[in-house]
Amino acid sequence: MTTNTLRPKTWTIIIVGFVMFVALILRLYKVNEYAIFLSDQAIDSFAVKRILEGAYTLLGPRASVGEFFNGPIVYYLMLPFYILFRLDPLSGTYFQITLQIASIPFIFNISRRMGGQLVGYLSTIIFALSPLLIYYSRATFNAYPAIFFSTIIIWALTSKSIESSFQSQLTKNKIRCLLTFPTFLLFIAGLSTGILVQTHYLLYIYAIFYLLYVILFYQKPIRVAIYCAGVFFGLAPFILFELRHDFFNIRAIINHVLSSSAIHISLIKVVESTLLAFGKIVGFPYATAGILAIVITVWFLFKSQRTQTYRLLLFSFFATIVSILLYRDYIQTHYIIGFHIFVLITSACMITLFGKYERLLLPFIVVICWVILLRSNTFAIAPEHDGLSLLDQRMIAQQIVTHVPADLWNLSQDAQQDNRAMPIRYLISLYPQIKQPLPVENYSANKYLYVVYKTNKPLSKIRTWEVQSFGKSYVEIIKTKINNTYSLSLLMKI
């Protein structure tokens, strides 16, 4: 395939642009109602807010296992969105949506290299309509930007211009070679790899395999050096923290991987959860769909021509397997997020085998994807919100801000597995002119306590530490109905 054929024609730009528009509409639809803003998102928003206030950090969110932290880079990438939208909780959601929409042209380009124009269209349509990816776009979560950065790595490292440029120029003029577009692509691939590993600790495995890929297939030391320079710049904040603190995170990750405490469930459970994760990527939350996704990928590995894209797919596949084996616990979809794009693209390649009538194939895929979309809970409040949407949280915060107690007060909730009510605390923090609640460690010194709870559950039945430590002698002085399930009460000690 020549360079000229890779240049998008006008109608290709229109189609891909339309897919991007549809993807944007689906992700923005009732975003203020469907956006996921829970404890993790509130904690991350607090971190970005503190950075804007001058409290810079070299640490990201704490990992869900072990005693280590992810890198801070996602916080800094979100800064422009929090500035633009004035720290609104949707700032992180808009950041995720932007990265996903920006991924679509690159996914089309990669897909076209792997299977042709039709595969490019199919993979972008599947991406745009995927319930899982729409779900990803609605939450500020450290792992989800990996979708964009893994796409950029794949796109950059599989560019044919890298190989042809180095072959033609390296022997002639090394300085000129360093100033070419392919050199820029290698650096961008390295930079994206450095950012990628800060989004989730399992992605360190992918970074190792990407480095092996560059060493084996780009061979020349200057190419490897350019890629590694990009990795260094991408990882700079994390590296600086490690150098200052005796490689705290790296040692903690190694200790966790090697410790017996990392083994929690049986191999059968690991396989089952892995199959479910793969199934969700292609739109079906079933193990059988996961088997199909893996079979499609393996089939493609055997049938595909030995191109650069094929080789990187092979390396990424092994990176996924190694990360699953090392984790040895229940696999969630974002644990294999470095492989999502390849699963979508290889699925599109597989579909084309059955496409004798290409004119009918695209509408057929659109219908199938739309049915999957409608059958999912995409157009609904996420179950994790436990019946308390972002709109409800805004209402609660506004009610509290309007009636701030004159004396020391605190806030708790019996919902969302978050007794501290971190999302509401964040919303209240956007009103610095009012007296803020006491810290989450202090629920006994306050005279007043706001409590969010299910209306049909008496306050006396709430057994959380946050409410119990407030004391049993109190009166309810304000009660507000939030929705059909929840109420907000203000308690005063007596």
Q: How far apart are CA 258 and CA 261, in angstroms?
A: 9
Q: Which token pair is 223? A: 């190419």
Q: For residue 319, which of 493, 427, 443, 196 has the smallest C-alpha distance?
A: 196
Is residue 22 pLDDT above 60, yes or no?
Answer: yes
Share of the chain above pLDDT 90, in %: 50
Distances from the Cα of 388 to the Cαs of 28, 34, 383, 411, in angstroms? 19, 11, 9, 16
Of residues 34 and 182, more confidently modeled: 34
For 86, counting Cβ atoms within 10 Å of its Cβ (0-12 exposed, 13-18 middle, 19+ buried), the class is exposed
Q: Say if residues 20 and 47 touch (Cβ distance below 8 Å).
A: no
* 113-122, 142-151, 379-388: range with highest mean pLDDT: 142-151
Residue 436, CA distances (Å) to 51, 401, 424, 451 in order: 19, 9, 12, 15
Compute the mean pLDDT over every residue in the chain, rounded to the nearest whole number. Answer: 86
Predicted pLDDT of residue 2: 46
Indicate the pLDDT class of residue 1, thresholds 50, 70 and 90.
very low
Structure confidence at residue 3 as a pLDDT band (50, 70, 90) = very low
Lowest mean pLDDT among 5-19, 235-249, 456-470, 475-489: 5-19
Q: Give dist(CA 20, CA 103) in Å, integer.
A: 9
Please name the residues in contact with 373: beta carbons below 8 A apart, sequence gap of 6 or more: 26, 129, 131, 134
Q: Over 90: is that where the pLDDT of 49 sits?
A: yes
Query: Does the pLDDT of residue 174 top 60, yes or no?
Result: no
What the block records as the tokens of 106 is 């690159």
Please enumerate, as own/partner, the contacts of 473-481 that have beta carbons within 8 Å and a separation of 24 or more.
Answer: 474/449, 478/403, 480/399, 481/455
pLDDT tens digits along 412-449: 999 999 999 999 999 999 999 999 999 988 888 899 99
Those residues whose C-beta lies under 8 Å from the C-beta of residue 113, and which sit 6 or more positions away, are 1, 6, 158, 307, 309
pLDDT band at 283 (very low <50, low <70, confident <90, very high): confident
Query: Is residue 239's pLDDT more than 70?
Result: yes
Distance of alpha carbon 343 from the chain centroid:
16
- The answer to whether the predicted template modeling score (pTM) of the entire model surpasses 0.85 is yes
Write out the two tokens for 172.
């002639």
User: pLDDT: is 298 or 238 the higher one?
Assistant: 238
**Is residue 180 scored above 80 in pLDDT?**
no
Q: What is the mean pLDDT of residues 208-212?
A: 94
Answer yes or no: is pLDDT of 306 > 80.
Answer: no
What is the per-residue pLDDT across 255-270, written as a single tens digit (0 to 9) for each? 877 775 555 567 777 8
Mean pLDDT on 124-133? 89
Q: Higher confidence at residue 310 or residue 177?
A: 310
Report residue 170's pLDDT band, with 50, 70 and 90 as the boundaries. Answer: very low
| In the predicted structure, residue 173 carries a pLDDT above the cut 60 | no
Beta partners for residue 411, in sequence order: 450
Q: For position 241, what pLDDT does the model report?
A: 93
Are 393 and 427 spatial neighbours (Cβ–Cβ below 8 Å)?
A: yes
Strand order in the sheet with 448-454: 409-413, 448-454, 486-493, 474-481
Question: Average pLDDT in the 89-112 region?
Answer: 95
